[in-house]
Amino acid sequence: MATTEDESISLTSEQQAVFDAAMKRHNIFLTGAAGCGKTVTIKKILAGFENRGIKYQVVAPTGLAAMPLSGKTLHSFFGWKPDSMQLPLEKLLELPSKSVRKAIKRTQVLIIEEVSMVENQHMERMNRVIQSVMEDSRPFGGKQVFLLGDFYQLPPVRPFQFCIMCGRFMSKPPAYRCQDCQAGNAHAIFYEGDKWAFKASVWKDLNLKNIRLKQLHRQKDPRFQDILNKIRNGQTLVEDEWQDLERVKNAPAGIGAVRLMSLRRQVDVLNQRELGAITSTAKTWEAIDSYQKLHGDWNGDWEAPWETDQPLENHSFAEKVSLKIGAKVVLLVNLDPKGKLVNGSQGEVIGFEEVHEVEPGPTESSPAIRPDGNKFKSNFEPVVRFANGRIKTIAPVRWGSRCGTNQRPYLASRIQIPLILAWALSIHKSQGMTLNYIEVSSKDLFEPGQLYVGLSRATSLEGLVLSGSSRKQLYTDPEVLSFYEKMEWESSTTTGVADPLCNPFIKCSD
């Protein structure tokens, strides 16, 4: 059953067109600039599938990307282990267990989130495994496929490590080559631009409806949008545009700008240093993880699947949260959308409220399925003053995801204070957030999409500072530029600030 929150989502006309196409069971590639409402649209679509009894599965290349839509990692859904990619294709097709095969067979719609991070050969592996399980040679075994993501953002990590045919290590760039496969084999040699999922042969076979959301909801300032789109499209910024980014702005007193950095270790060092500089005693909350068997066939030779799946390993909530008065934090859930307390809301801890025993409330990810018991016991809850002036005591919440198979489903839940230290965040961790006040460090950027992802978290130029003294632009891969320029997009109409890459009133093929 769809959740109340999802039922209440109001879509724009262009988002509604995507919903209608999905309900008509088209294969879809949905893309758009950061802040265009892709996640809002897909949540409404998932609610529509649930209301119609359509079985779907959300998968993503990382646990962080999978969690907001209660999805699974690709490895979890396909039953792959860290070394499974080193198997020859013929062995990989034999690998799925009985439970994995049942999960694949029951899935009518496969939604692949953050498809920009899915590598070419990985796309082909998924296709071939599903074809084998379904005994159906159509793309993805005839299932409806929904691809979601923006190729201007983060790319695949470590592409072409192992040959899809034989599983052996491939040579490094400039040419990824398998020395053990024959030279005439199409899977034997690749170049850097071949890493993208849209380069996989199955991409064309899916006969996708290509839809780009053009109305931008995060940024309203046309000047800021122009700058972001120039960075996204690989165009060089001029001097006054750099100055707009680098000009020092002042965040509200007591809030401060979140520093977005490329390397996670830099983030951890800065956050712990700033927390340690506060002389007061820290309050600490240990997460409560729980697993509950749901309906299904759990008889016979039983073993706990979560012991091997580790579904909470990459949970957005930390296992341990330590806070002090004065700590800079960011909220990780939508507590009060109408009151503008949402994922990414920035604030400062101003005190602690004494409590005794708290029954955590549900979040938007799983309000309908909640295990009993496991009450979160703590003597205190943090009181946070947010950037919009609201003061809120933050109680622990439960965030759960349905995991397992149709025969052995279970709910994996974590209860924790939904806050994270936020003097700094990694650019990767910030993806999907809307932040009002940020400082983006240009130091140590190593992927073309990182600068764009970091800057596009901001809602305005007045809430953004670019630091680090580097004006080096890591230009967008020409293959991505060509892909978007040559694509034939489904037409739609829109209002407001728009993505300027395409005329919104015509079917465009550049």
What does the pLDDT read at residue 375? Answer: 57
Which neighbouring-strand residues pair with 122? none
What does the pLDDT read at residue 20? Answer: 93
Same domain, 356 and 292: yes
- Stronger pLDDT, 37 or 277, i.e. the higher one: 277
Q: Kindly tell me if the per-residue pLDDT of 504 is higher than 50.
A: no
Same domain, 82 and 184: no
What does the pLDDT read at residue 383? Answer: 95
User: Cβ atoms within 10 A of the Cβ of 239, count?
Assistant: 8
Same domain, 411 and 269: yes
Among 409, 424, 439, which residue terminates a domain? 424
Q: What is the pLDDT of residues 254-301, one digit of tens each?
A: 777 889 988 888 899 999 999 999 998 899 998 888 888 877 666 655
Pull the structure tokens for residue 74.
Answer: 């690709």
Q: Kindly tell me if the per-residue pLDDT of 185 is higher than 60.
A: no
181 within domain boundaries: yes
Q: What is the pLDDT of residues 310-350, one digit of tens each?
A: 778 777 788 899 999 999 998 888 777 666 787 778 889 99
User: How many structural domains does the chain have?
Assistant: 3
Sign of torsion over alpha carbons 113, 119, 124, 128: negative
457 within domain boundaries: no
* 423 touches 255 (CB < 8 A): no
Q: Kindly tell me if the per-residue pLDDT of 181 is higher than 80.
A: no
Which percentage of the chain shows pLDDT scores above 70?
82
**Residues with Cβ < 8 Å from 477, sequence gap 6 or more?**
155, 192, 193, 196, 448
The DSSP result for 200-269, as a single string, is SHHHHHT--EEEEE-B-SS---HHHHHHHHHHHTTPPPPHHHHHHHHS---PPTTT-PEEEES-HHHHHH
Q: Kindly tell me if the per-residue pLDDT of 370 is higher than 80.
A: no
* C-alpha 277: how far from chain center: 33
Reduce the DSSP state of residue 355 to 3 states and report it.
coil
Average pLDDT of the chain is 81
Same domain, 394 and 502: no
Lowest mean pLDDT among 154-168, 205-219, 371-385: 371-385
For the purposes of burial, counting CB atoms within 10 Å of the CB of 265, is it exposed (0-12), middle (13-18) or buried (19 or more)? exposed
Same domain, 415 and 292: yes
What does the pLDDT read at residue 356? Answer: 59
**Residues with Cβ < 8 Å from 196, sequence gap 6 or more?**
116, 119, 120, 151, 155, 156, 477, 479, 480, 483
Pull the structure tokens for residue 126.
Answer: 């998924």
What is the domain-level CATH number for residue 126? 3.40.50.300
What does the pLDDT read at residue 271? Answer: 93
Same domain, 8 and 138: yes
Task: Please state, in angstroms and rounded to a whole number, the distance separating the CA atoms of residues 256 and 422.
Answer: 10
Q: Which domain holds residue 301?
A: 258-424
- Stronger pLDDT, 23 or 387, i.e. the higher one: 23
228 within domain boundaries: no
Q: What is the pLDDT of residues 390-419, one digit of tens each?
A: 999 998 888 877 776 656 777 888 889 999
319 within domain boundaries: yes
Same domain, 384 and 405: yes
Same domain, 118 and 167: no
503: Cα within 13 Å, side-chain hemisphere: 6
Among 424, 441, 458, which residue terminates a domain? 424
For the purposes of burial, counting CB atoms within 10 Å of the CB of 358, is it exposed (0-12), middle (13-18) or buried (19 or more)? middle
Same domain, 69 and 200: yes
437 within domain boundaries: no
487 within domain boundaries: yes
Give which of 233, 197, 213 is closest to 39, Cα–Cα.
213
**Residue 495: pLDDT band with limits 50, 70, 90:** very low
- Stronger pLDDT, 175 or 420, i.e. the higher one: 420
**Residue 49: pLDDT band with limits 50, 70, 90:** very high
323 within domain boundaries: yes
466 within domain boundaries: no
- Stronger pLDDT, 24 or 221, i.e. the higher one: 24
Reduce the DSSP state of residue 127 to 3 states and report it.
helix
Same domain, 510 and 393: no
**Residue 57: pLDDT band with limits 50, 70, 90:** very high
**Residue 131: pLDDT band with limits 50, 70, 90:** very high
Which percentage of the chain shows pLDDT scores above 90?
31
Relative to beta strand 376-377, strand 357-358 is antiparallel
The whole-number average pLDDT for the span 85-100 is 90
Pull the structure tokens for residue 410.
Answer: 């279970």
Same domain, 352 and 494: no
Same domain, 203 and 165: no
Task: Please state, in angstroms and rounded to a whole number, the distance separating the CA atoms of residues 143 and 485.
Answer: 28
* 378 touches 355 (CB < 8 A): yes
Q: What is the pLDDT of residues 193-229, one digit of tens each?
A: 899 999 999 999 999 999 988 776 667 778 888 888 8
Among 402, 424, 446, which residue terminates a domain? 424
- Angle CA(364)–CA(366)–CA(367) in degrees, nearest 5? 75
Q: Kindly tell me if the per-residue pLDDT of 90 is higher than 80.
A: yes
In three-state form (DSSP H/G/I as H, E/B as E, the rest C), the secondary structure along 20-56 is HHHHCCCCEEEEECCCCCHHHHHHHHHHHHHHCCCCE
pTM surpassing 0.85? no
Task: Please state, in angstroms and rounded to a whole number, the distance separating the CA atoms of residues 98 and 113.
Answer: 25
